[in-house]
Every structure is written in C-alpha cells, then in structure tokens.
Structure 1
C-alpha cells in the first residue's frame, strides 16, 4: 500500500513537472510578444520617407515599364492606338536620362526627391528580382560619393509562393549581398536611434508560414518570428514597420502591436465612420508604439487591368489584344488636393514622427510626386509647405505661390471613342462630383485678390484653398495686390467637355513651375500635357 502511494505521488509529480516544462517552453517560445524594444523610438527626428518603386527608373539600356512608357502615351502612331494609348503619364526624366548611366539616374532621383521635400526612400523589394539589388547598391554608392544626405530602407513586399525557409533564404542572400557591398555601417541605412535596421513591410508578413493550428497564438506571432529569423540571417536586429491596408479591427490591430514596433498606413484605411487612422493612432499611443503617418495625392491607374480584377497587363501588346471590352482602370476619388492635405494634416495632428509618401514614382498607379507632365510641381509644393509647418521650419517665407488642381473633364462626361471603364474601388467620403471644380491653393505673404478665369475672390495671407467652377477651356490664375497683377499664369493643359479617352488623373500646375523645372532640368526645354489645349497646333505627346 505504501509503495503504491509513493509510486502514485511520483507519477503525479512527473506529470506536474512535465506540464511546467511545457508551459515554460511555450512561454520561452513567445519571447517576441511585447519585447522591450517594441516601445523604443523609430526615429529621433521628423522625417518624410517615400515609397520608391525600385525598378521604375530610367537610364541607358533600361526603359520604363510599359504602363508608364511615354512611347505609349499618344492615341495614335504606336501599337497601343487601338485602345487610345496605354499610358496616361509621361515621366519628365524619360528624355533627360535616356542616355544616362545608372549612377547619374539615381543621383537625379535623390536630388529631385530632396527638392520635393523627401528625406529618404523605402524600396519596394520583392522576391526573384535580383537585378533590382544593383539599383539599390547604386543609390548607396552615389549617396556616399556625392555626400547626399538621404536615408534608404527596404520594403519587403508580398513575398508569395514557396516556403518560409526558402523565402527567408532568398531574401537573406540578397540583403547580405547589398550590405556587404555598401557597408553594414553605411550612414545612409535608415536605422532607429538604438541601431536597429528599419525594414518596411507591404504585405511583407506573407513571408511567414502560418500553421493551421495556431496553438493559442495570433498569426502575428508567426510573422514576427519569421522576421526575427530573417534578421538573424543577415546579422541584424530589425525594426519592422507593419503596413495596414484594410479596415482593421481593434483586436487584430492589438495583435499587430503585440509583435511590431510601428505601423504605417497604405491607401485603403477607410470605413464609413471615418479614417481608420484614428483607431490606429489611438492604440499606438496607448501601447507606446510608433504611429507613422501616410498620405497620397492621387490614385488613377495608367496601367490596364483585366476587367473585374487586379491582374495587370504588363505587356502593351497583351492589353491591346484583350480589347477595350475586357479591360478597366482603377480609381480612388481624392478630391483634387484634399486627400493629400487632409492626411498630412492628420499625421501632424497625431504627432507622427514619420510621414510616408505614397509614392515617389509609381507612375502606373498615378500617386507619384516625381516630376511628370500631369502632376507637375503642385504636390511637391504642398509637401514642402506642410513639411515646413510640421517641422516649424517655414518653407515659403515672404513669397506668393499659386497652385491649381483640376481634372481634365467632369466625372459624368462620357469619353469618345475610348471609353474604358474607370472603377472607383474605395469609399473614402470624397464624392466624384466634388472633383468637378478648379481648386486653387494660395500661399501668400499678404492678403490679396485671386482672379481665376475672370472670377475674383479675396484670399487671406498664408495658406488658403479656394474652389471655382470647372468650365471647358484654359485656366488662368493670378493675384492682385494694390492694383497690381502678381504671379499670373495660364495652365498648358485645358479642361474639356469632349474627352477622347477615359482619364481621371489629377492635373496640377503652379506659378512656381518655371523655377521648379529649371532647378531640376536646367536649360532643357519643358514638356507639357496639352491634350485639350486648343491653341496647340498638334498633340504634345511629351516626346
């Protein structure tokens, strides 16, 4: 009887010990949750970082991809003529850099970005595009050689297919190659004050294998664990900036904040009751995590998609073969400059330490800041203005600046003959009708009268936004002070009531365009969008 009791007690003690071991092991496995470093700062100064499409760059032997190649801009004289022209953007650097070296091209990109108010790039970084690594290395090489104060980071983007281990191996091999070439201590790497390497994610969490049995842990644990493995493989501690591109729930958001030190928001964070950023910023503040602001100026795809999908026609001939009845373009109403202004103001209000610009050069999706014949300098002026306010370093002092924004035609006008469907895919509280206007932003050293197409209103000193009716024809704007006309200009592009093709990209032009263009391109003659300019003797294709 005594032996039986002792034996039973021994078994019980062994079970208890085993359970304790399992519990301790489980706890040890989750040492990523709420780690101390998650509460540390991402940056000790305010910065503007732009998402950069690594491969959308022009230099000798490297053209732009089809969806932003100026060769396919014109509705005639090229293989995309049957669909009215594939592209609806013309990057200005196409002709300047067509004979440039890679190093000359990346120097142009960095210096132009700085002039536009940008402090660094986060590079769109995907699997199986090894050649992009040479472009990234060139940025570091030139920033070093030319002493350009510019920060650089990788944005791990939607790694799909294969297994977690294989994806980590592939990324690690390439990242190690870049770091070995440019130097792990290179001052241009974007790092946290405590030395962690900042890594942005754009659906980058797809690197992780998420097991069917989560074993009581959220999916974000497995995502963070995968990036810990990748960091170890490149001998770095990562500070991963998680991307939110959905109407995220509070529960899921807190699971993200359990394992990631910071979040940034992409273009779709809206819901009926308002901007999802309120929830995100509130929870980040409560959890002592970094909330990074984001803004975008436009969203109209020059690229053609298979109707009803996000499947892109990468090749111009494939798009033409599909025909207009099988293609569409995507669109988000941004209220001319409203969305850009509103989101930047939100980031400032919520004390974001970083504002992310979506994007520097994604011309195919139309949310580019880089110089192009539709956006011109308008959004760069807004960025410099807001950055100056945010950092309490006024950019425009004792100057008068006028910027116009408009669509080329009203939203309810049917283009003929190239009426390709434009699908609005995000309800963000901005109506299509609200874009049927000429929006004028003024930054004035003193109050004045603003004259737009003969309609005169008084505007105050400082920053103001005024809207005028959208009517077909040229847009002329100037200010009058003490009876004297100041800063008068007419936009090269006109508004039409008879568009020949679908085109919802926002057009902007300012009183500062001449200075802006000369500072970037020197004495090279400007190119303009003049599709509906009746004074133009021919269609200006930007070539």
Structure 2
C-alpha cells in the first residue's frame, strides 16, 4: 500500500485519490456514512432483486477510464433473479469510483457493525487480472483494505472479518481498527490496460458464531440437478463411518509430482534443464527457469538416466533423509497415454519399497478432473488404471486407516461430478460439495476397495466460511488445504480457527506447510494461460509474460505451519511439495535451497514424535533472497504477487539455529541476537555482498557458515527463490549422494 496517501475525516474521498495509488486505485461500489439502526446480531442479505433497495451507486470519478457502466442485471445471479453488473475498460493502469448515497444495499449502516462481524458477498467473472477489494474506514479516518483476485470461475464467495488488528492493508493511522466504522467501500482495480465484467450478489453481514453445524444444503438450484442424484448425495450426509479413526501414528507426507519428467513432458518450457543456463539457449529471456534439481535422472543430467525402479529407490532414500514418511502422488485425470506414464512411475516406487527395509507409505492425490467427458466415462477410465495399480502392488505400502481403508487425497477433483463442470466452482458453493462426495463414492466402488477421501479446499485467503466448512465435514472424514501463504493469517489464527471446527465435528484437518513459491512457469500478460512452448515465450519476450510469486517471509510461514500442525496432532502433516520445482516449493535438494529446509523439517519431525526431544548437536542454516524486492534485474519479469504480505518482509538475512544451549549469532560480523536452545531464528536487514554466519557461545565460535551465494544489487534476471544453506550440507550430501557429487551445483550466480 502506498503509505504516502492520507485521508482526513470529512475529506471528499472522490477527490482524494491520485495516480500514484496502487491498491486503493478503485472501483468503489458502496461508500456509506456512519449511522445506526442495524443490529449485527441478525444476518442481513441483499440479492439485488429490487433496484430501490439495491441502490445502484453513482459514478464519481477515476483514472484511465475507457468505458464504465454499472447496472442491475438479470443475466446472472447467485440467488434470485438479479445481481449488480459492473463493466469496465481501461486505457492504462487505473480505477473507477462509484459511491452510494448513504447506506449499504438493504439498509444496513456501517456504524452499527461491531468487532468480530463478517462481511461476505459473491462475485462472478471470467478469470481476470483484476482485484475486488473491500475497504473500510474506521472512527478515526484510517483506511483498511482486503483484496480478492478475480482468478476463479463462476460464483465465488468473498469473506473478511472485522477485528481490532484490521485488514491486510492499512494507511492513514496506527493499524488498529477503531469502531464505529464510518465507511465501507467495495472496490476493483487493474494494474494495466484491459477490460472486464464482474457480477456481484448477496452482500451479507454475519455475526461471529462459527461453531454452528449447518444442515446439509439440499436445494436443487431450480431443478438444475436431478432429484435422483440429489437424493443419492444426501444419503451420504454425516455417515457414521466419517467418525471412525482415520490415521494411526504420525506421518509427514509430501505431495510428489509423479511422472514430472516422463515421456509426456519432455519439452515443456518450464521443465527443460538447459533453460537454467542464463547464457544458454534461452539467454534472450535471461535463462528461462531458475531452478536446478540435484535429483535428476533424465538424459543429459549429471547423474544420467536410471531405470524407473532405481530412480524411485534413490528418491525414497533422499526423502527419508530429508524428514519424510511418505508421498501422496499427484494423479490427474487425462488421456490414457498420460495415465499409463503416471501409473508406471508410481508403481516403480512400490517396486523399490519391496527391496528396501523402510517404513514409507504411498498414496494417490486424485487431481484436476475437469473434462468434458461424463462422470461415468471419467470414472471408467480413471478406475481402469488405478485398479490395475492397486491390484499389482503390496498392500502394506499403501497409506491406510486403522480399519484397512485406503486414504486418498483430492486436489481440485470435484470436476469428476457431472454437476460440477469446473472444480473451481465448488470451492465457494456449498451446494456442490455433496455431488463431489457422490462422485468419489462412485469412483471408490469402481476401484473395488474401501476408501476414506481427504477433501481439498483452497487456502484461507478470505476467512473461515462456516457454511462451506460444515458442508465439507458433512460429507468427508478429513480435509486439507494446499498451503497457507499469508503470514497475517498466521497471526489471526485462521488455521487454528478452522482446526477447532474440524475437531468439534470429529473430523481430520491435515495441515500443509509450504516452503516457498516462485514460479519458473510464465503466462502471457493479461491472461491465465500457462506457456508450455519455449518458442511462444521467446516470441512474447520478457515484458510480454509474467510469473506468480508468494512471499513466505523466508522460513517464517514454514516454521509456523509446522508448529501448528504438531500442535493439532491430527496424524498427517503435508509438505508442499517434494519436487514441484517449476513452482519453487520443493523440499528435494537443488541449487537454491540445498538441504537447508531438510535440516528444519527433521527437527520438527523429531519434536512431533517425541515432545521431550532435545537438540543434541548445534546446527544452523542461513536464508535470504538474492536481491532486495525493490531492485530491478536486467531481465525484469512482471511478478503477480499473491497473498497480502509486504514484499519487503523478505529483505532480510535470516539464520535458523538448532542449539543445545543458547548462543550469540553473528551475520557478516554484526551481532543479530541471542538464539535460544532448541529452534530459533534471528535476522538482520539484507545487505549486498557475501554472507557469513558465526555462532558463538561464551565468546568461542561453535559454528561457522559461508553461503555459496551472495546478495547483489545488480541481478541478471528475476529470481525470487529463497536461497538456503546449512552447516550440515556435507552430512546430507554424503547420506544421499555418497561420493558422487556430479549433480551438486549450488547457486553462486553472484558470488
């Protein structure tokens, strides 16, 4: 947020916006003044059925506008017959401002809202490079804002909670949300020229009770779904089997991108090893990818090709060394040739386990079921290859419940159901969850096994939705999120809030902990179309495409979610991921992070298995970005940052220590602080040059670490990977690779 923008109480907001504004740059649909007359103890709903109660806000100004129009429309609606339709077009980066006269649609007043209330509404649009933002102004004139990107298909529910700590962005005050509120705005902004259309419906204000168990959502959307399917799905509601124990023991699993380097992916632009070389065949793009895996058995890699079973054995041994107890394999629906590749790769891991004396569990994560085929035909194809895999592999290596059911994960697999054309649709539409459960039940029957499905939901960007949460728990025994990227949500304990609800319902909530997210994948500017062909990337050039990036604040997000997963103690913690190198959240060792996160994960594994565990050997790892967030590389890709973390939060050199006793930590000669026994982290602001870490106790050096990489102020290319290096790299290298160090090529681009 541009902190230079100031707003004084009583200022005409429509004249206070300037072209320098980034996140306030807005389409303000509702701007209202404080009053009384509404009790937040009662839910309030506006479906824009009546133009008088809905109040079409008036146009009040903006910047870069080519066209704008706001109206009540009967083209689409979430409920009822009408919604608010907003059409906009920009010549350049800009905003449009609309303002209502006095109050929110339906007659509620912001001044009557209280701490803990939740605001929600629905949007419907094609995926757009734009954001819908809710903005409130408190009693002292301070602005607070929460942003929601328009990346979803269909009706998407948006939610936020009013607390004293405010919203992710704030300016013109102390960061504390003071009641009563004086204003609520709904805004949209775009960072570049473009156009869009978004429908808005069901503006709702809810109280603070999230502990209710909601009844099943049984409406049929005006006859859209057959009563036979609805009845079959409702028969699965809250079955006794959902209460049975799901996990025995404690397992740290990692999502494994099975068949990542198999025959169906040899030329994908973001997977070609040679594109890492900044002076190689993609020099005109600065070197297209920014990762270099150490475990790589493709033709031309330092380790050279190996058989599928040999490669799987090596991978399992490395995963165990890094602190994992199993894999859940990414297993998408697709063409038969692709499924053959996936099954071959996954089976190789079972074959390898038969020759190993280790306790390592495997399972499947059924994913990406969007396909024009019918549910019946998709199940027939998927089940054919899955059943073959199950029947040809030893049962003891599968992840199972205490009573012998397979534990399967899902990831955007809702599209398997006939009623769900796109898996994104179900995430904020509780009425569809039961059909996803029905489709999984039908798939289970086709597989010829008994199964417990761990249902996937999106990260908690918008708070805990009680209706959607309850509906998931009505039909599935456990749920898991992909990752939690926004550190503000850690502070607000949304994970803990969600865990409380699952515990109340006697369901499993399996935490996920992500290491990082910086994508070597690119997308043409203004679209969500992933680039697969390197020639397309070259044709677009650096400034015709963008990358995705989520700031994890170095290791903070990873450490916090691991600690919360251990506290929840639900039996499974997921690491995101083992080997998704192209999205930059891989635990598997590579040029950027080496074995630094493995050092941390192994500590947490020991601590989870034995709460009384004490560190027996001093260790340390250093983490940093290769350049500050505000430094521009020569090959400067546009970055789409997701989440609400200030990018400057990573402008530090961070040292994570595992110590037997407290000790002082020095970074580049500067005392960063005293680290306590056990795990701890200290940091100093990022500074250009080599990075050295010393740990001293009573003045005597106990650890000395020099990073292979340095920090630069003249970066060659965009690269927001978190770099990591530890004092125990040699131990891990010896354990995993032995004396064969051909693939150990740590990053030293700026050394």
Shorter chain as normaliser: what TM range? 0.7 to 0.9
CA distance in 1, matches of 2:677, 2:326: 32
The 1:83–1:26 alpha-carbon spacing in structure 2 relative to 1, beyond 3 Å, is: closer
TM score, norm. by length of structure 2: 0.64
Partner in structure 1 of residue 375 of structure 2: 164
In 2, Cα distance between equivalents of 1:26 and 1:485 = 68
Is structure 2 residue 643 aligned with structure 1 residue 426?
Answer: yes
Is the strand fraction higher in 1 or 2?
2
TM superposition shift of 1:275: 5.1
- For residue 455 of structure 2, the aligned residue among 226, 242, 250 is 242
Displacement, 1:449? Answer: 2.3
- Is the Cα contact below 8 Å between 1:42 and 1:193 reproduced in 2? yes
Shift in Å at residue 494 of structure 1?
0.3
When residues 482 and 188 of structure 1 are mapped into structure 2, their CA distance, relative to the original with a 3 A threshold, is same
Q: Structure 2 residue aligned with 1:120, among 326, 336, 358?
A: 326
| Residue 277 (structure 1) aligned with residue 495 (structure 2) | yes
In the TM superposition, 1:143-158 aligns within 5 A as 143-158=353-368
Point out where structure 1 has 5 or more consecutive residues left out of the alignment: 1-22, 534-543
- The answer to whether the Cα contact below 8 Å between 2:268 and 2:534 also exists between their aligned partners in 1 is no
1:39 corresponding residue in structure 2? 243
Q: Which digits, 9 at most, give the CA deviation of each residue in 1:421-446, with x for residues without a partner?
A: 1110222xx32111100000111112
- Counterparts of 1:356 and 1:71, CA distance in 2: 31
**Structure ranking higher on relative contact order (CA contacts 8 Å, 6+ apart):** 1
Q: Is the 8 A contact 2:485 2:551 kept in 1?
A: no
Aligned to 2:290: 88
SS at match of 2:379: helix
**CA positional deviation for 1:315:** 2.4
Asked whether the 8 Å contact 2:430–2:471 carries over to 1, the reply is: no
Q: Are the counterparts in 2 of residues 438 and 469 from structure 1 also a CA contact under 8 Å?
A: yes
How far, CA to CA, are the matches of 2:458 and 2:430 in structure 1? 22
The alpha-carbon distance between structure 1 residues 26 and 208, as it changes in their structure 2 partners (threshold 3 A), is: closer
Which residue of structure 1 lines up, in the alignment, with residue 684 of structure 2? Answer: 468
| Aligned equivalent of 1:207 | 416
**SS at 2:474 equivalent:** helix
Deviation at 1:458, TM superposition (A): 3.0
State the distance in 2 between where 1:524 and 1:217 align. Answer: 53
Could you tell me how far 1:147 is from its partner in structure 2? 3.1
8 Å Cα contact 1:58/1:105 also seen in 2: no
Cα pair distance change 1:29/1:350, threshold 3 Å: closer
The question of whether the paired residues in 2 share the 8 Å contact of 1:68 and 1:88 is answered with no
Q: How does 1:407-486 map to 2 (within 5 A)?
A: 407-416=625-634, 418-427=635-644, 430-456=645-671, 457-486=673-702
* Residue 588 of structure 2: aligned partner: 370
Asked if 2 retains the 8 angstrom alpha-carbon contact of 1:403 and 1:440, the reply is: yes
- Deviation per CA, 1:112-169, whole angstroms, max 9, x where unpaired? 1111111111111112222111001111111112233211111011111111111111
Q: 1:450 to 1:315 in 2, by over 3 A?
A: same
* 1:228 corresponds to: 441
Q: Distance in 2 between matches of 1:119 and 1:64?
A: 32
In the alignment, does 2:277 pair up with 1:74? yes
How many pairs are equivalent? Answer: 503
Mapped to 2, the partners of 1:392 and 1:35 lie a distance apart of: 34
Query: What SS is found at the alignment partner of 2:364?
Result: strand
Question: What are the superposed Cα offsets for residues 25-72 of structure 1, whole Å, 9 maximum, x if unpaired?
Answer: 98676331111111112211111011010022589x986954143311
1:316 match: 534
Q: Deviations for 1:499-522, whole angstroms, at most 9, x for unmatched residues?
A: 111111100001111111111111
For 1:492-531, what aligned pairs fall within 5 Å after superposition?
492-525=708-741, 526-531=744-749
Shift of 1:276: 3.6
Distance in 2, matches of 1:44 and 1:181, equals 24
Please provide the CA RMSD for this pair: 2.6
Quote how far apart the aligned CAs of 1:419 are: 0.6
The CA deviation string for residues 208-228 of structure 1, in whole angstroms up to 9 with x for no partner, is 11179x9x9932221111111
Structure (1 or 2) with the greater helix fraction:
1
SS of the equivalent of 1:329 reads: strand
The answer on 1:297 being equivalent to 2:499 is no
TM-aligned CA deviation for residue 447 of structure 1: 2.3
Give a deviation string over 1:506-542, Cα, whole Å, max 9, x none: 0000111111111111112332101001xxxxxxxxx
The one-character-per-residue Cα deviations of 1:338-361 (angstroms, maximum 9, x if unpaired) are 010111112122233210011000
Q: Provide runs of 4+ in structure 1 moved above 4 Å.
A: 23-29, 61-65, 268-273, 393-396
Task: Give the structure-1-normalised TM-score.
Answer: 0.87
Is 1:338 paired with 2:556?
yes
Query: What is aligned with 1:49?
Result: 253
What is the CA-CA distance between 1:472 and the residue it aligns to? 0.7
> Aligned partners of 1:287 and 1:202: how far apart in 2?
22
Going from structure 1 to structure 2, the CA distance change for 1:217 and 1:411 (only over 3 Å counts) comes to closer
Unpaired runs of 5+ residues, structure 2, are: 1-226
